[in-house]
Structure 1
Amino acid sequence: EIKLTLNIFILVKGKHSEPLLIWNCKVDLAFLMDGSWSIGKRRFKIQKDFLAEVAQTINVGVAGPMMGVIQDDPITEISLKSYSSSRDVKAAVDKITQKGGQSNVGKALSYINKLYFSDATGNRGSAPNVVVVLVDGWPTDKVEEASRLARESGINIFFVTIEGPDENEKHNLVEANFVDKAVCRTNGFFSLPVSSWFGLRKAVQPLVKRVCDTDRLVCSKTCLNANDIAFVIDGSSSVGTGNFRTVLQFVANVTREFEISDTDTRVGAVQYTYEQRLEFAFGQYNNKAELLNAIKRINYWSGGTSTGAAITYAAEQLFSKSKPNKRKIMIVITDGRSYDDVRAPALAVHRQGVIAYSIGIAWAAQDELEYIATDPDKEHSYFVDEFDNLYKYVPKIIQNICQEFNSQPRN
C-alpha cells in the first residue's frame, strides 16, 4: 500500500487572515487550467490565484508532492520536474498567460495521458499520478474515451466544475454527465462542484485533503501493479526435468509482464507433489530481477500429484498474507489428474475472492481444470498438448487479467 504521510503546520498570515494548513504527501499532481476565451481575464486571474494557493498549501518538494500545470490548448505550462519548491511554482503560475480558444478537455486529457506523465517530464513512478481538471461550465468536446484511457494508465482524475450548467443550459452539453464519465470513481470523492468563481478559494483545502488521501487514489492501481499472484506448480514425476524448466520459463514470462515491488504486484510460488513446498512468499523478492532469478532457481521435486492439497496450502501460506487492496490471482499448472479432490479446495479459494486460472498440459483432466478455474471457465482454463506450447498462453492470461481489472465498476 502507498502510505499517507501528513505533516500539518499552522501558519498565521497577518492580523485578519485564517490559519493555513500545509499538507505534505507524495503525489505527482497536474492541474489542467481552463484557458478558453469564455472565462475572461478576471476569472483566469482567480484561477491562477487558486493554483498559487494550492502550491503553497501542498508544500512542493522532491520528497513530497510535485506540481505541474497544463492549459487546455493543450500546452504544458509547468512540467512536474520544473520546480521543487512551492515558492517557485507560485512564481511560475503568476507568469502564465491566457491562451484562449475553446475548453477542449478531452483533447487535453489525451495529451496528458500520452505525453505529460512520462519519465522525461518528471513522472516519478513511485508516486500516484493525479490530474485536477478545472472547467468553467462544461467542456466543448467529449471526455469519456480520453478519460477511460487515462484511468487505465493509472491516472486519478478529479474535476472542479465552476458555475456548472443550470437546467436551461443542459441542452448545450456536448456530453451529458461528463463528470461521471471522466472521474476516477463516481462516488463524489473525485468531483468538486463550485457554485461561483468567487468561491473557488474555499475549495483549496477540501481538494488538497482529497488529493493527499493516497489510499483512496484507486486509479493509481492498474492491472499490472495491483495483484498478489500465486503460482501453484506441479512437480510430479510425470513432468520430468526438461519440461519442468519449460514450466519455470512460462512462470517467468508471465511474471515479467507485471510491475514488481512491495507496493505493486507481488509474486509467490508453491511446488507440489503428494506434499507441498513454499518456494517463496509474497514480498520475499521485491524487484523483478531478483524474482526472475528466484524462479530460475526452483529445484524440480518429483513425486505424486495432489493438486487439491496444493491449492489449500497456497491459500494458507500465501493468500492468508495477502494485502487487502490487492487482487488475489492463483495460476495452477499441472500435467495430470490429481490423486485427491480438487473441487472443495477450489471452491474454498473462490469464496475467498481468489481469481483462479488452471493450465493443463498433456494428461491433465479437463473436468478438474474446470473445477479449479474461476467462472467463466473458457477465460480462466487453458490446455496444451505439450509443454513447448505453454508460451502461447502468456499474452492471453495477461490480456484477461487486464480486461477483468478494467471492467470493474467505477462507483
Structure 2
Amino acid sequence: MQQAQKPCSGYSYSWTSSQGQKIKSNKQQKYPSQIFSVSLLFPVSDCKVDLSFLIDGSWSIGKRRFQIQKQFLSDVAQALDVGVAGPLMGIVQYGDDPSTEFNLKTHANSRDVKNAIEKIPQKGGRSNVGKALSFVNKNFFLDSNGNRGGAPNVAIVLVDGWPTDKVEEASRLARESGINIFFVTIEGADENEKQNVIEPNFVDKAVCRTNGFYSINVPSWFNLRKVVQTLVKRVCDTDRLACSKTCLNSADIGFVIDGSSSVGTGNFRTVLQFVANISKEFEISDTDTRIGAVQYTYEQRLEFGFDKHSTKQDVLNAIKQINYWSGGTSTGAAISYASEQLFSKSKPNKRKIMILITDGRSYDDVRVPAMTAHQNGVISYSVGIAWAAQDELESIATDPDEEHSFFVDEFDYLYKFVPRIIQNICTEFNSQPRN
C-alpha cells in the first residue's frame, strides 16, 4: 500500500482498497513550518477520569498531520495535569487493526505521557474506528490495565475525515459498558466525497447524546490545537458524563415489603432473600445505585433510606436485619409513604425504581397513590404472591404491565423473578432516547 506524499503547502491524494474506500483529493491546506505547543495550564480540579485516546494512524492522515495529532495529545496531557489522584491517560492507535500504545497505569504524570506520545510511530492502514471501539471496550478499561473503577471511563476518538468501517454497533456496546465516547473529527467529507462515507451521520450514531456535547468538528488540522481547552473541560465535567451510568449503577431502588400477618415469619425471610438477591446485582455506592426499604402493614416503617448504606455488604446486612412486623395490609398508604420517605429524597440524576412485594389484597385503594408515584417519575414493579389481587398488581405497575407486574403462587418460587426484573430494568434503561 502506497502512502501519498503530502507537502506542507497542500495535498492531493487518493487511496482505495478492495475492502474499504477512503478518498480525498485536491484539498489545499496550509500548515505552518513549525508545530507550536499550546500552553494551557489552567487548573482542572476534581478531574478524576480514566481516558483512552483512539488516534488515527491510517495512511490517509499522512506523516505531517500524524505529527500534529501527537502534538495535540501532548497539549491535552499537559492541560489535564495527568496524575494518580486526577486524570489518567492511555492511547490506542488504530489503522487496519488497533493496538494499545500505552495503558492507564503506564505513565503517572504529564511529562512521561508526553515523552511516550513523541515516540509513537504511525501504523498505517485504513481508518477502522468501529474495530477500534470494540477493542477498547473489550481490552482497555480493565483493572489489570489501571482502570480505577470509581473514575468515569472516557474514550476520545480522533478521526481524519471519516471511518472506513461502521461504528454504530461497536459504539452502542461500548456505551452499554459505561464508556463515554467523544468524537473529534477533522476535515470531514465534502460534497464530492460523501458517497464514499460508509455510515452517514456516524458521529450521532456513536455518541451517547446527540446535543453536541460529545462531538467536536474541526475544519482543518491547523485548527486542532484550538479545541484543547474545550475538550479537556468537557471530559472533566463528570456531572455530564451520563454514559458512565449503566442500568446497574444509576438508580435509587426502593423496596416496599408487605409485613402483614398472612405472610408469616418463614415466608418473610424468603421475601428478604429475594430483596437481597436483586440488590446484589447492582453496583452500590453513594454515587452509583442506592437501596432503600419500607415495610408496611396497616402502618409503615422506614427500614433504611437511600443515604443510609453506601456499600453492597452494608445493604445486604441491613436487609438481613429487618424484623418481621405482622399486621394488616394497607398497600396504598405504603406507596404514598414510600413516595414521601424514599423517592422524594432521590437524587435528580437517578432513576427512581420501586419494587413492591405483597401477598394479599389491600384494605385501601392503591390506584391513586400508584398513579401519583408514576407521575412523579417512579418506575414501579409489583410482585404478588399467593392471594395478591391481579387488578391491584396491574394498577401498581408502570405500563406496560407485563414487563412490570409479576405473580407467583408460592413464596419459594420468588427467586425465579430476579433475572427477569434485572433484565427489564436494563432493557428499559438502554432504550432511553439518547438526544
Shorter chain as normaliser: what TM range?
over 0.9
Structure 2: how far apart are the matches of 1:23 and 1:374?
A: 42
Structure 1 residue aligned with 2:214: 190
Structure 2 residue aligned with 1:154: 178
Per-residue CA shift, 1:281-306, capped at 9, x if unaligned?
Answer: 10211101111011011111100000
Q: Is the 8 A contact 1:35 1:101 kept in 2?
A: yes
1:59 and 2:119 aligned: no
Structure 2 residue aligned with 1:382: 406
1:228 to 218, 236, 252: 252
Structure 1 residue aligned with 2:145: 121
1:77 and 2:98 aligned: no
1:300 and 2:321 aligned: no
2:426 partner amino acid: C
Structure 2: how far apart are the matches of 1:17 and 1:222?
A: 36
Structure 2: how far apart are the matches of 1:183 and 1:123?
A: 21
Larger radius of gyration: 2
1:21 Cα deviation after fit: 2.1
**TM-score relative to the length of structure 1:** 0.95
Per-residue CA shift, 1:120-170, capped at 9, x if unaligned?
Answer: 111111111101100000000000000000001110100000001011111
Q: Secondary structure at the match of 2:154?
A: strand
2:366 partner amino acid: V
Q: CA RMSD in A?
A: 1.1
Structure 2 residue aligned with 1:21: 42
**TM-score relative to the length of structure 2:** 0.90
Structure 2 residue aligned with 1:43: 65
Query: What does 1:356-375 align with in structure 2 at a 5 Å threshold?
Result: 356-375=380-399
1:208 to 1:377, Cα distance in 2 relative to 1, 3 A:
same
**Taking every aligned residue pair, what percent have the same amino acid on both sides?**
77
Per-residue CA shift, 1:28-63, capped at 9, x if unaligned?
Answer: 011000000111111100000000010000010111
Q: Secondary structure at the match of 1:231?
A: strand
Q: Secondary structure at the match of 2:182?
A: strand
Q: Is the 8 A contact 2:153 2:179 kept in 1?
A: yes
Structure 2: how far apart are the matches of 1:50 and 1:146?
A: 25
2:154 to 130, 141, 152: 130
1:344 and 2:365 aligned: no
Consecutive unaligned residues of structure 2, counting only runs of 5 or more, are: 1-36
Q: Secondary structure at the match of 2:134?
A: helix
Structure 2 residue aligned with 1:6: none
Structure 2: how far apart are the matches of 1:23 and 1:171?
A: 42
1:312 Cα deviation after fit: 0.5
Structure 2 residue aligned with 1:171: 195
Per-residue CA shift, 1:358-396, capped at 9, x if unaligned?
Answer: 000000000000000000001000000000010000000
Q: Is the 8 A contact 1:336 1:365 kept in 2?
A: yes
1:22 Cα deviation after fit: 3.8
1:78 Cα deviation after fit: 1.3
Query: What does 1:99-114 align with in structure 2 at a 5 Å threshold?
Result: 99-114=123-138
1:33 and 2:55 aligned: yes
Structure 1 residue aligned with 2:262: 238
Q: Secondary structure at the match of 1:401?
A: helix
1:20 Cα deviation after fit: 4.0
Structure 2 residue aligned with 1:142: 166
- Between 1:374-383 and 1:20-29, the stretch displaced more is 20-29
1:144 to 1:226, Cα distance in 2 relative to 1, 3 A:
same
Q: Is the 8 A contact 2:40 2:78 kept in 1?
A: no
Structure 2: how far apart are the matches of 1:276 and 1:317?
A: 10
1:18 Cα deviation after fit: 6.3
Structure 2: how far apart are the matches of 1:303 and 1:296?
A: 20
Structure 2 residue aligned with 1:9: none
1:256 partner amino acid: K
Query: What does 1:276-355 align with in structure 2 at a 5 Å threshold?
Result: 276-355=300-379
Structure 1: how far apart are the matches of 2:303 and 2:141?
A: 37
1:19 Cα deviation after fit: 6.1
Count of equivalent residues: 396
1:23 Cα deviation after fit: 2.0
1:50 partner amino acid: F
1:358 partner amino acid: S
Q: Is the 8 A contact 2:159 2:186 kept in 1?
A: yes
Structure 2: how far apart are the matches of 1:398 and 1:159?
A: 31
Q: Is the 8 A contact 2:259 2:324 kept in 1?
A: yes
Q: Is the 8 A contact 2:385 2:408 kept in 1?
A: yes
Q: Is the 8 A contact 2:296 2:329 kept in 1?
A: yes
Q: Is the 8 A contact 2:129 2:163 kept in 1?
A: yes
Structure 1: how far apart are the matches of 2:285 and 2:190?
A: 47
Structure 2 residue aligned with 1:3: none
2:65 partner amino acid: R
Consecutive unaligned residues of structure 1, counting only runs of 5 or more, are: 1-15
Q: Secondary structure at the match of 1:167?
A: coil
Q: Is the 8 A contact 1:22 1:56 kept in 2?
A: no
Q: Is the 8 A contact 2:40 2:229 kept in 1?
A: no
2:188 partner amino acid: G
1:303 partner amino acid: G
Q: Secondary structure at the match of 1:21?
A: coil
